[in-house]
Every structure is written in C-alpha cells, then in structure tokens.
Amino acid sequence: MLHGPQRGLFDLSFQVPSGCADEVASGAADIGIVPSIELTRQTLDVIPGTGIACRGAVRSILLVSTRPAPEIRTLAADISSRTSVQLARVVLQRRYSAVPEFRMHRPDLEEMLRVADAALVIGDPALAIDERAQGLIKTDLGSEWKAMTGLPFVYAMWSGRSSAAEAVHVAGLNAARDRGVAAVQTIARLEGNGDPRREQLALVYLRDNLKYGLGEPEMAGLRRFHELAAEQGLVPGLRDLKFF
C-alpha cells in the first residue's frame, strides 16, 4: 500500500491496535486493522479475506511469568492491546483455571514483573524475549489457542463503518496483501537492516507465524473466540459479522 500499485488508494496512518479501533470508532478513520474483539463492541463491516491471524505459535503474543500458568494471580497487560488481553483471560480460565487480576501497564517487561506474577507482551518486544536467560516461563497464546480449540486465531481484521469501503477498496486491500506476502523476503531484508540474525527472525515470523488470508477455518476460530469471551462475560454479546 506504500510502494505498490495500490499506492495512493488510501490515505494511510499508523497506530497500535487499540489506536486503530479508537480512530474507527471516532470517525477519524474510515477503515482500520481493528482488533477482532472490537467486532463485538462496535457495529462494523469487515473487509473479506484479509487480516492478521495464526495457525499455531505466533511468537509475538506472549504470557511471560515467574510461575506456572495455573498459579498466576496477577497479570500486567500491555495497554496497546485489546484482543490479546481477552485471549489471555480465555486461555488462563478455560485451560488453567486461573482468573488473575489484570493490571494495564506500559510495555516494559522488567517493570511489569515487578508489579505482577506475569506480563502480557505483544509485538516486537515479545519477539526479543529470551526467557531462559531471564529465568522466566514463556507461554505462546497462539499455541495455547490452537491446542485448546484446534482452530486458527484471528487477531485483527480490516473493518469499518457501513458504506466506508467500496469494491475498489476491498480489491485493493487484498491485492496489497498478496503483493506483501510475495515480497516477504524483501521485507525481511529491509527489516534486518544488514543484521543477518534480525533478518532471519523477521523472515520466519512474517512467513511462518503470521497468516494474512482469512478463510473458513479462521472465521470459525473467530466465532469460537467471541463465543468463549461472551460465556466469560468479557464482551457485551455476540454479533453476526457483515462484510463489505
């Protein structure tokens, strides 16, 4: 969308996931990569076929703790995430019978573990964690969800207010996705910036851990997440998804 044929089709701005949701909610943005939990809270239409998902280990959505998951009593959560916070609640309660007190915190692992038994860390900081060197326990929430449900997990979807997108925008987003996936080695090289280790880390993460096409398995995983979140009282209720 910045460098390919779709350049100029959208006026782009960049935000953390919670910021994307807020900008769409306020009308500052027509569409955004909205955290999937927001689809139970906002009345949004969804761009079909494209988003951010995983089919197992995701490596960038982690619970990092000083004690085993069933013993977690307090959890410091990254303030920039919404879907991951509710995913952590679902996994901890259903898989480990743990219902910790959540404390929202800026993403600083050392500080988070000063005030809680565990930290929910997302994005680049999660990829950089060496739990063995730090004597910590790392729990990958993508792996936990897959083991618990057998389904993929959808973290975010391109979504917006009804009539905000037209057919040309839907086609443009899917074409940009395809072009990005095809160029993943180039993207990883740019991200590595001359550091072979960083380049390889980016390549494996972008190629193997993240998935960008949303098919029926992903939609089944999304529905199951919403159902479990509703059962635990974490969301107002279930809504049928409507697509542009």
User: Which pLDDT does position 41 carry in this prediction?
Assistant: 92
Domains and CATH numbers, the chain: 17-55+152-221 (3.40.190.10), 61-149 (3.40.190.10)
| 60 vs 83: CA distance, rounded Å | 13
| 174 vs 31: CA distance, rounded Å | 14
User: Which pLDDT does position 238 carry in this prediction?
Assistant: 87
User: Which pLDDT does position 80 carry in this prediction?
Assistant: 83
User: Which pLDDT does position 9 carry in this prediction?
Assistant: 93
Rounded to 5, what percent of the chain is helix, strand, coil? 45, 20, 35
> Both tokens of residue 74?
């307090």
| 207 vs 215: CA distance, rounded Å | 17
What b/e readout covers 183-199, taking b as 16+ CB neighbours within 10 angstroms?
Answer: ebeebbbebbeeeeebb
20: amino acid identity, one letter: C
User: Which pLDDT does position 18 carry in this prediction?
Assistant: 87
| 27 vs 31: CA distance, rounded Å | 9
Given the structure tokens 């901890």, which residue do they identify? 92
Pairing of β 153-160 and β 31-35: antiparallel
User: Which pLDDT does position 228 carry in this prediction?
Assistant: 97
DSSP collapsed to 3 states, 141-208: HHHHHHHHHCCCEEEEEEEECCCCCCHHHHHHHHHHHHHHHHCHHHHHHHHHCCCHHHHHHHHHHHHH
The 10s digit of each residue's pLDDT in 87-133 is 999 999 999 999 999 999 999 999 999 999 999 999 999 999 999 99
Identify the three-state secondary structure at position 48.
strand
Q: Per-block average pLDDT, block size 10, for the chain (244 residues)?
A: 91 91 95 95 94 97 97 94 95 97 94 97 92 95 98 97 93 96 96 96 97 96 97 91 92
Q: pTM of this prediction?
A: 0.94
User: Which pLDDT does position 213 carry in this prediction?
Assistant: 93
| 54 vs 160: CA distance, rounded Å | 22
